[in-house]
Amino acid sequence: MNYLTNAGSLILDFIFGALVTLFVLRLLAEAFRADFNNPICQFLYRFTNPILRPVRKVLPSVRRVNTGALLVVFLLECVKWLLIVAMAGILPNVVGLVIVSLGETLDFFLLTWVVLVFVWSLMSMLSTDRYHPVARLVTSLADPLVRPLRGRMTLGGLDFSPTVVILGLILARMLIAAPIKDWGVAMMMGGL
């Protein structure tokens, strides 16, 4: 890739990353039943509803998982990768595009949880206001991942359960999401 393509790829990653973040947070907020009265949740619902309302008529939620938001995240990743390979002047393999988009979607969810658990653990170490909207949202999204291990990974009065969860999420990114993305990129570029 040349310098202009790298710059364009960075801009596309930023724009699509911001959009995907909104829909991922919306999906997680619904799945973990975050407080709807939280101003951040209200912003997420208000911003994503115009897109998700028609999609939800076709794809209803399964249990508490908003399948419409999941589909939008996947489609955003498809469009991002389609634009990236178009900037490089490559006609992608459709199956490879789907696989790399699945890998990117999985990787984005895992990375989001890494960030949420890290921020949650920092907030628990510092004396932050538990009723702040950010603290309430982060707690409601990170706590279900840490709760099964909380108190079981204690050493010297320190609870290492967030560290174990973050390590597990990073390993999942390295051992599951990265190979899927690499396989999809290789297939998309015609390597397989």
**pLDDT confidence of residue 142:** 93
The pTM (predicted TM-score) of the whole model is 0.90
Q: Which residue, chain included where needed, has tokens 């840490």? A: 146
**pLDDT confidence of residue 93:** 87
**pLDDT confidence of residue 92:** 82
φ and ψ at 131, to 5 degrees?
Answer: -100, 5
Distance CA 192, CA 116 (A): 36
Distance CA 137, CA 44 (A): 11
Positions in the chain whose pLDDT score sits under 50: none
Distance CA 162, CA 118 (A): 7
Residues 119, 121, 127, 133, CA torsion sign = positive
Half-sphere exposure of 73 (CA within 13 A, CB side): 24
**Considering only CA atoms, which of 160, 144, 142 is closest in space to residue 152?**
160
Summarize pLDDT for 1-13 with one digit per residue, the tens: 578 888 888 999 9
**pLDDT confidence of residue 191:** 60
**pLDDT confidence of residue 128:** 76
